[in-house]
Amino acid sequence: MSRRVDAFDRWIRTSFVELNTELENLYFARENRADVQGCGERLKTTLRDEGHIHVVSLLAEGNTGDGFESGFGVLGNVGMYLGALRRHELTNPAREHKSPFTEASSLALHVGASLGMAPRFSTTHLSTRNRAVAGVRKSFTSLPDEFLFIDENTRGILCLQRAADALTRIVHLGVSSPVTDVPFRAARQALLEVMEFNSRLFQQLDVDRFFYSVRPYYKPYRVGRQEYRGANAGDFSGINEIDLLLGLCRANDPYYAQLLVDKMLFMPPADQARLRECMTHTSLLDELLSLLPEHSHADWFQRNAAEYLEVCGLFGRLAAQHHDCLVKRFIEAPAARLQGEDLDAITASGPPLPVLLRSLEILRDLRLAADRDDIGSRHADLARLRGAVSESYVCG
């Protein structure tokens, strides 16, 4: 790591965190917690100027060819800097045609393009590639609720990646293999663990702290001329690998294909490659349905179809938990109390809240294989498979 890369990283892990935390505490003590104008101006200026010195020095150094890890770290750090400037209203895409932070934009564009990623920080920077130093991972603030959010998100992502790995192994074994019990069990276990982390988040995360002091760092912002949507916990390939391998979502469904294209650059290149490869496989559901007419009475079919249905059911319950518990409690409910300007841009991806909620509902219902004929739900196909599995094989 170059000396300048290292210095910027140290700043992001120290002064940057302290300044943001101080600002959050000032905003949170205000009567209107959503109003960040005219408050902590000296702290905001310090944050902007200290970060600028690092950015200018890195921009002058250029791409040092230090490798992926170094470039990826710089992209995350300059992205977190721009995310914080957005959070403190030192920039706002709604009132600007281009970012007022020219040097930071140039640095982010240069590094992002060289890595093949969007020029902003992404979820991976704060989760699975958030390298801890002496026990402390990167964050915007040192608020306990931010640590809780980052850690439970990361745990969830790690388990979803485990489930995706396990299901990928079934592709190579073939869905009729006598040993699919091992990967199906691994997938089941991983999904149950995600549900446990989600429940913990639901119970322990403070609604107002999350809504007013954590989530605003995930707003969209401009890099150069273009506005980039915020990071969200879905920006890793594992969740979509599970969708596609289970067959609950299909890459040729125009709604879902658009979603995949839109998120591609928000994932690290290794995830992009996994997702592309996953799109070439036939889903487990389609494999089972093609075997059903000839083999539905075979013991292997009954066992493996029952295991498949169990994993599908859990995945649907997990999707419902994300939407009906987490999104409702931590976004929909507090947003309902806000009005006018304060309500603007509270979602990470940018669209107005009702639009975002509708699109998340579609994903939930696809994963639940809900009885809807206005989306590409596999409800009828799953019912056909379920109808072919004898009660005695259904997993407890």
Span of 24-32, 132-140, 170-178, 229-237 interacting with ligand HEM by CB under 6 A: 229-237
| Binding residues among 305-324 for ligand HEM as defined by CB under 6 A | 322
Interface mask toward ligand HEM for 144-163; x: CB under 6 A: --------xx--xx--x---
CB of 168 or CB of 349, closer to ligand HEM? 349
Q: Considering only the stretches 75-83, 109-117, 175-183, 232-240, report the one whose residues sit in contact with ligand HEM under the rule CB under 6 A.
A: 232-240
Contact 105, 225 (CB under 8 A): no
Output the residue with the shortest Cβ distance to ligand HEM.
Answer: 234
**How far apart (Å, rounded) are the C-alpha atoms in residues 371 and 378?**
8
| 219: amino acid identity, one letter | K
**Token pair of 335, please?**
């947003």
239: contact with ligand HEM by CB under 6 A: yes
CB of 69 to ligand HEM, least distance (A): 23
Measured CA angle at 260 (ends 257, 266), to 5 deg:
160
What residues does 226 pair with on adjacent strands?
223
Termini Cα distance of the chain: 52
Q: Are 82 and 221 in contact (CB under 8 A)?
A: yes
Kindly tell me which of 58 and 148 has the beta carbon lying closer to ligand HEM: 148
**Number of residues forming the site for ligand HEM (CB under 6 A):** 24
Q: Which of 143, 275, 360, 369 binds ligand HEM (CB under 6 A)?
A: 360
Q: Which is nearer to ligand HEM, 4 or 222 (CB)?
A: 222
Smallest separation (angstroms) from ligand HEM to the CB of 353: 9
CB atoms within 10 A of CB 182: 13
Whole-number Å distance between alpha carbons of 334 and 326: 12
- Characterize the bridge pairing of strands 226-228 and 221-223: antiparallel
Our finding on whether 347 is near ligand HEM (CB under 6 A) is yes
Start-end of H helices in 217-352 = 237-246, 254-263, 269-278, 284-295, 299-321, 333-336, 340-343
Q: Which is nearer to ligand HEM, 39 or 327 (CB)?
A: 327
Q: How far is the CB of 242 from ligand HEM (least distance, A)?
A: 10
Identify which of residues 159 and 171 has a Cβ nearer to ligand HEM in the complex: 159
Question: In what helix (H) or strand (E) does residue 210 lie, and over which residues does it extend?
Answer: none
- Assess contact for 170 and 180: CB atoms under 8 A: yes
Which residues lie near ligand HEM (CB under 6 A)?
152-153, 156-157, 160, 198, 201, 205, 210, 232-234, 239, 322, 326-327, 330-331, 347-349, 356, 360, 363
